[in-house]
Amino acid sequence: MAVKYLDFHKYLKGMKKQVLLLNQDNTPLNIITISKAFKLLSKDKVWMDETSSEFYEVVSVSKIVKIPKILILKYYVKLPFKKVAPNRINILRRDKYCCQYCGIDLCEKNATIDHVIPRCRGGGHSWINLVAACKDCNLFKGNRTPKEAKMELKTKPKEPSYGFLFDDMLITFRKNKNA
Ligand SMILES: [Zn+2]
């Protein structure tokens, strides 16, 4: 038995599939690999979300193993305060791929990140000083503040919560829960 388990685990390790791990109180904790998910299931440390219909079907030698895409820990893990990095992709996601000055939808081609207070004037590389902007607005604004350029921000930029990282996976989770 032990040998079989090890083999299967090795097989899962090669798979790039991801599982959303929720804390005991249903808040997102992490995105884990399918092999870690299998380990937690075998050790009886997680609940399967009964209402969710989302499973990965893994075909092993003798049977098909169903591994849920969302698992809930049976115990509560207290998280140290985690921060989300204000990188390009996260700024674009927070601002919903929408230029914060003129409001047009952004695609990879016209999306830029603007320093609200320009770097050369002491503006930092932080959540509250970075916004998504289209190329035209960014170029027009140049090294000016929004006030100087007479441009208004659609929303006041702020730091999102840690759970923001898992938003896409949580949408599926909530849809299934409410179905
Ligand atoms: Zn714009």
% helix, strand, coil for the chain, step of 5: 35, 20, 45
Task: Give SS3 for 45.
Answer: coil
Nearest alpha-carbon partner for 119 in 101, 104, 141, 99: 141
Which is higher by pLDDT, 129 or 79? 129
C-alpha 161 – ligand 1 centre gap (Å) = 26
pLDDT at 2: 44
Q: Which residues surround ligand 1, an ion (CB under 5 A)?
A: 99, 101-102, 134, 137
Residues 70-84 have pLDDT tens digits of 899 999 888 766 778
For the stretch 139-144, contacts whose Cβ atoms lie closer than 8 Å and that sit 24 or more positions apart, written own/partner, are 141/101, 141/114, 142/118, 143/118, 144/118
Give the contacts of 43 (CB within 8 A, at least 6 positions apart).
none
CA of 103 to the centre of ligand 1 (A): 6
What tokens were used for 137?
């607005």
Cβ neighbour number for residue 141 with a 10 Å cutoff: 20
pTM: 0.64
